[in-house]
A = this chain, B = another copy of it.
Amino acid sequence: MQIVKVGLLGLGTVGGGTATVLLDNAEEIARRTGRKIVVDMAATLDPGRTRELGLTQTRVTTNAQEVVSDKACQIVIELIGGYEPARTLVLQAVANGKHIVTANKALIATHGQEIFEAAQKKGVIVAYEAAVAGGIPIIKAIREGLSANRIQWVAGIINGTGNFILTEMRDKGRSFDDALKEAQALGYAEADPAFDVEGTDAAHKLTILAAISFGIPLQFEACYTEGISKVQQEDVAHAEELGYRIKHLGVARRTDNGIEMRVHPTLIPEKRLIANVNGVMNAVLVMAEAAGPTLYYGAGAGAKPTASAVVADIIDVIRKLNMASSLANRIPISGFQGDGVSDIPVLPMAEIETSYYLRMLAADRAGVMADVTAILGESGISIEAMIQKDPADERQAKIIMLTHRVKEQQMNQAIKEIEALGSISGEVTRIRMEPLA
């Protein structure tokens, strides 16, 4: 059986998982591919890891440079994570003619253009299925499975930690802080959880999904990013009463004016399948012109689910190893040919239209509702539903509204005017809504 030698950069959670899957499933992989994949070399700061993992035939080094320049390894698997030294090592490996498999969403979202261009020039493949939604083959589904389609929008629950927290808040009535502590206790969230709960991680993944869905450059800096740390338990409960769930959604949409690319807490109708994706699970809903809606669900993180995607990429690369002459036949790294990439702009948030959930505390006296609805009416904002809650104290009423669609800048202006009313206490809470229909 033909042997393919790969070099691993990093033997942490995902690197260890990758080694384990390659060893444990070697027989099944050989049945599928007719090849034996061997981890010939691994770079790790903890050389004992190779023995722990049963990598008995692997050359081990603490110097990652040795892997990227090793003659025997045809494919370099970058599983270090983060921006540097990952970027430098990947670019060196490309320069050395290595094919690349990576799980690094931060790297692809921010340095993807540079890496893809270098790979294109050198004629090597860069595969990054594991960078988005872990074990779900969503990159393959969009680049290949839906290749006949003009994709209209993509909406995803693409951060498991955030989804776990929101699920706990709904199911158990917990506060954000309590749910976050639970996530940390269970090992789902880092000691510094900002990357997850403030949306950076989801924005990295959404940037990649938008690029391969619409054929636009990777533009992480243009992605609007809002976290879930300000989501209140009471809003989760009110959303529920109204038939909605709050999810931390990444939404990328193609409009006539430009591309929407945004990560924020979002109300979605509870009857949508994606509204029922709970705990640490991920799901991506794709609306495509011919296929209609398709949804892809699975584990978005974890050693073995992520390794599943890494190893699938290795197998994909191997299947193309001997066709170096036919770059034209390759699946383009971004899913679109170089000259097929569009420069349609990403829209600023102010230009984006959604419907809204609003919550405010109002003095419980005549004329207040008239003032609020007058402001909304003048801003062209119509109300779809409204509930008024028993006053917290006798002089105040809690008002919850769902609005029809309006541009964000009009809503910003209306909220500013409502907050300036003497009869309204504090800030107006605003959460965007998506029908996902």
Chain A residues near B (Cβ < 8 Å)? 2, 17, 21-22, 24-25, 28-34, 129, 135-137, 140-141, 143-150, 215, 273, 276-277, 288-299, 302, 304-305, 307-312, 314-316, 318-323, 326, 328-332, 335-337, 339-342
Contacts and interface: CB of A to CB of B under 8 A. Distances in A.
6 contacts: A25-B289, A34-B337, A148-B310, A149-B308, A289-B304, A291-B299
A33 B335 CA distance: 8
Contacts of A304: 289-292
Contact of A137 (B33, B145, B322, B331): B145
A295 B304 CA distance: 17
Contacts of A308: 146, 148-149, 288, 290-291
A302 B32 CA distance: 32
A24 B361 CA distance: 51
A24 B141 CA distance: 21
A3 to B, nearest CB: 13
Contacts of A149: 25, 28, 308
Best-buried of A143, A323, A339 by chain B (most CB within 10 Å): A323
A312 B145 contact: yes
A143 B315 CA distance: 11
Contacts of A29: 147-148
A86 to B, nearest CB: 22
Given A290-B307, A319-B331, A323-B323, A145 B150 contact: no
Contacts of A323: 322-323, 326, 329
A298 B293 CA distance: 6
Nearest to A29: B148
A319 B330 contact: yes
A329 B310 CA distance: 18
A137 B148 contact: no
Given A293-B299, A296-B297, A319-B329, 19 more contacts: A21-B290, A25-B149, A28-B149, A28-B150, A32-B337, A34-B337, A135-B290, A137-B145, A137-B294, A140-B140, A288-B308, A289-B304, A290-B311, A293-B298, A295-B296, A295-B297, A322-B326, A322-B328, A323-B323
A29 B332 CA distance: 12
A215 to B, nearest CB: 5
A305 B329 contact: no
Which are the 6 A-B pairs with shortest beta-carbon distances?
A: A137-B145, A31-B340, A148-B311, A294-B298, A135-B291, A291-B308
Contact of A329 (B148, B291, B321): B321
A302 B309 CA distance: 31
Contacts of A141: 137, 140-141, 145
A227 B285 CA distance: 31
Contact of A273 (B2, B276, B329): B276
A341 B311 CA distance: 21
B326 A305 contact: no
A219 B330 CA distance: 34
Contacts of A17: 290
B312 A136 contact: no
Contact of A146 (B147, B293, B312): B312
Given A215-B31, A273-B273, A295-B298, A290 B25 contact: yes
B297 A294 contact: yes
B33 A147 contact: yes
